[in-house]
Amino acid sequence: TKGDNEAAFDRVKLRPRVLRDVTRLDTGITLFGQRLPHPIILAPIAYQRLVHPEGEVATARGAGMAEAVFTLGTTATATIEDCVAASQSPVWFLLYWQSDRAFNGEVVSRMAALGAKAISVTVDLPTPGDRRRQFRAGFKIPDSLATPYFKDRNTGVLKVGTAQRRAMPTWADIAWLRSLTTLPLILKGILDPDDAEQAIGTGADAIVVSNHGSRNLDTLPATIDALPAIAERVAGRIPIILDGGVRRGIDVLKAIALGASAVMIGRPYVYALATGGAAGVAHCVNLLRRDFEMAMALTGRA
């Protein structure tokens, strides 16, 4: 699936239109009533201090420099208040559902008070999958890597009075969470049109078409292949964000042509963070944005 996430984009061919006025290109979109200058969003990625001393704070700063939304994960190595302070762009928060239902509501309320502009919930991870590349690499979280929300990095025990364990929400839990917050609610990990329909019925404000970066279950469809049927079912009722395999601005164009409102990037900006910190993250987004604008012009889409 990791290979197909990228290869599937290459199988999609562009149809250029000529002699159109593309002297002024508009890459802007509106999400949740807010105008964004481009549709490239930074996906939630855990433990970013593994690759850079500032971790998510540097990512947030780079996102602000590139006018991109940044999504902070529950397993972050920085606080949301530090990320909000570092970025002029919106910061979203991704919730990994915990075993105490009320605690999830408390986390969402806290994140809203600290500046989160949207809440995303992972819905495709009832259990960790057979992550063989991780096992082969001998990957583990170093004891020295402190996280603000977790005290036990291997089991996901939250730093609160009672021990929390990661759990899997149901549709009833999502409906309950919807009733608690006025923030936009995004469900991340949808690959089936029926689930997209149920997400709308449960009150989701947007969905993310994602196969979890291919990390959790192999032989899932590439996200760009899953997108058209979901977009047809959603029929413009809520925004669709495409996550997985975006490596070029051309991929952004293809995702939007096939029904997405925006895209998320993951691996590209983490590699950029590792090599260039905040400036690297900004450079990564700006490269994609420039390539996207070029592709727009060359296909006759202003």
Cβ neighbours of residue 117 closer than 8 Å, sequence gap 6 or more:
32, 34, 69, 90, 91, 92, 183, 184
User: Rounded CA gap, 240 and 256, in Å?
Assistant: 9
Query: 228 near 257, Cβ under 8 Å?
Result: no
Q: Which helix (H) or strand (E) is 298 found in, with range?
A: helix 267-299
User: Rounded CA gap, 249 and 251, in Å?
Assistant: 5
Q: SS3 sequence, 133-178? A: HHHHHCCCCCCCCCCCCEEECCCCEECCCCCCCECCCCHHHHHHHH
- DSSP for 174-236 reads HHHHHHH--S-EEEEEE-SHHHHHHHHHTT-SEEEEE-GGGTSSTTPPPHHHHHHHHHHHHTT
| Residue that the structure tokens 């929390």 belong to | 164
Residue 38 annotated as catalytic:
no
User: Rounded CA gap, 58 and 276, in Å?
Assistant: 10
User: Rounded CA gap, 47 and 53, in Å?
Assistant: 11
Query: 178 near 121, Cβ under 8 Å?
Result: no
User: Rounded CA gap, 295 and 77, in Å?
Assistant: 36
Residues with catalytic function: 212
